[in-house]
A = this chain, B = another copy of it.
Amino acid sequence: MSKVAAVIGGGVIGGGWAARFLLNGWDVQVYDPDPQAERKIGEVMANARRSLPGLTDVALPAEGELRFCASIAEAVAGAEWIQESVPERLEIKHATFAEVQATCARDAVIGSSTSGFKPSELQQGAARPGQIMVAHPFNPVYLLPLIELVPGDAGEEALVERAKATLTSLGMHPLHLKKEIDAHVADRFLEAVWREALWLVKDGIATTEEIDDAIRYGFGIRWAQMGLFETYRVAGGEAGMKHFMAQFGPALKWPWTKLMDVPEFNEELVDLIAGQSDAQSGHHSIRELERIRDNNLVTMMRGLKAQNWGAGALLNAQEKLMRADEPAAADLSADQLVRTARRTVPLDWTDYNGHMTESRYLHAFADATDRFMEIIGCDADYIQSGGSYFTAETHIRHLDEVHAGAVIEIETQVIMGEGKKMHLFHTMREGERVLATGEHFLLHVSLETRKPSAPSPEIEANLVRFAQGHARLPKPEGLGRAIGAVR
């Protein structure tokens, strides 16, 4: 049975939470008195469906069920996670928690999306204060992994641990803050930067566009992968962090920020900034900008995934969890084809023709080959020990188009496998529709000499088992074909 999450308040943030849960197979029960809530969540879901599933190289589980409820009591019934994303006013939050706790399960996590309030403030007057914790996400919630998890002194340890496990299973990173503070951690930085930015615009030093360029062409792209301190550690060089700080320390006394003052927040300032923002980005609608942003985030996060770093390392950790229920090699029958991939075509795999671009077919086939190698024992440890397979020859037939967001599956037939040689035939499908076939001839090599060599006896035995079993299956259509041979 699916797990159930309750989402109380369904704006951009609540909708993002709903998307995270639904796309990870949870059922979601939404309470939001706004008559526009269904439309708004629908728009967030559309964005999430096009971007999240392709982040990992394993398909997500079947989407859960979304249900709109007429009351908080109905929404929290059966829920093991309840996420509050109502407006940032303490009395509204308190009233919401009172209603939630009147009927919810005693061991459900109650997370608050608040960006400013401390857990001790949220917990004031609650029936069970230890059940309520800050779980502060970042927009877009369906893509960005950071959650500031702040249980405060009243937080129940067992519940906090369960909250962390749940967030991790959703592909998020719970940053567990042990001490509470106004605005937690990330928003303190956002606030400091926001104040400074308002000054720079107000004083006519730079426009909103110039400020954005100063961020995204410089430190923004640094911070996307290493943050502040690790970036400075590298900048300090071999002399180390102490040396770096000695250099940077005195600047604290210099007039480099407007820290001592806050600009007056009046209509004039709002008009100035809104006008500049229109000039900068007004040629794109918000919907377009959302899609552009998500395309950018997906391509950068998938890039970091290939480097196994930062947000990409989190994706790999999530994928490992998702792969935990894959069958062991010994349990796979050699009497049938091996399923070597089930994944969603990522947003950044499409090209100017509006479909998956040709090299990504080979990307998916190569990953399927890697998976088959892993199945027969040629895994990361074995490769580390000095042996691997190199592809010598490839033949691809592109039979039909496929688009970002489609779930594709690859089945693999061993055509021949003995000694150093391995001949595989992959068939890629979306549902019943055959999209492409990939035929590959590989040689086992020594990574030291870079020359063909015998695989380990275990690998050869596993390969031969599949080769013998698959020899009894029909030969695939298109096998051994050459370009031009038929024409």
**CB-CB < 8 A to A439: which residues of B?**
483
Q: Are A482 and B257 in contact (CB under 8 A)?
A: no
Q: Are A246 and B228 in contact (CB under 8 A)?
A: no
Tell me the chain A residues, 184-233 only, with Cβ under 8 Å from chain B: 185-198, 200, 203-206, 208-231, 233
Q: How large is the interface on A (under 10, 10 to 19, 20 to 34, 35 or more residues)?
A: 35 or more
Q: Does A433 contact B (CB under 8 A)?
A: no
Residue of B nearest to A314 (CB): B217
User: 10 A-B residue contacts at CB 8 Å?
Assistant: A179-B204, A185-B214, A188-B256, A191-B251, A220-B224, A221-B301, A245-B274, A250-B265, A299-B307, A353-B388
**CB-CB < 8 A to A213: which residues of B?**
146, 173, 175, 227
**CB-CB < 8 A to A196: which residues of B?**
188-189, 192
Q: Are A253 and B245 in contact (CB under 8 A)?
A: no
Known: A175-B210, A259-B260, A394-B394. 5 other contacts (CB 8 A): A193-B193, A194-B248, A195-B257, A212-B230, A392-B397
- List the 3 shortest-distance A-B pairs measured between CB atoms, nearest first: A212-B227, A299-B303, A220-B223
Q: Does A348 contact B (CB under 8 A)?
A: yes
What CA separation (Å) do A392 and B224 show in the bound complex? 39
What CA separation (Å) do A109 and B394 show in the bound complex? 53
**CB-CB < 8 A to A35: which residues of B?**
none
What CA separation (Å) do A219 and B194 show in the bound complex? 13
Contact stretch, chosen from A122-130, A154-162, A287-295, A327-335: A287-295
Q: Are A223 and B216 in contact (CB under 8 A)?
A: yes
Q: Are B228 and A212 in contact (CB under 8 A)?
A: yes
**CB-CB < 8 A to A242: which residues of B?**
270-271, 274
Q: Are B216 and A311 in contact (CB under 8 A)?
A: yes
Q: Are B348 and A483 in contact (CB under 8 A)?
A: no
Q: Are B216 and A224 in contact (CB under 8 A)?
A: yes
- Identify A186's interface contact among B146, B188, B219, CB under 8 A: B219
**CB-CB < 8 A to A226: which residues of B?**
212, 216, 289, 293, 296
**From residue A76, how far is it (CB to closest CB) to chain B in Å?**
27
- Identify A238's interface contact among B211, B230, B286, B304, CB under 8 A: B286
Q: Does A144 contact B (CB under 8 A)?
A: yes
**From residue A139, how far is it (CB to closest CB) to chain B in Å?**
5
Contact stretch, chosen from A23-31, A48-56, A275-283, A457-465: A275-283
**From residue A153, how far is it (CB to closest CB) to chain B in Å?**
14
**CB-CB < 8 A to A121: which residues of B?**
none
**CB-CB < 8 A to A225: which residues of B?**
216, 220, 293, 296-297, 300
**CB-CB < 8 A to A204: which residues of B?**
179
Residue of B nearest to A11 (CB): B237
Provided the pairs A179-B204, A188-B256, A354-B447 are in contact, do residues A289 and B397 lie with their beta carbons within 8 angstroms?
no
Q: Are B401 and A450 in contact (CB under 8 A)?
A: yes
Q: Does A105 contact B (CB under 8 A)?
A: no
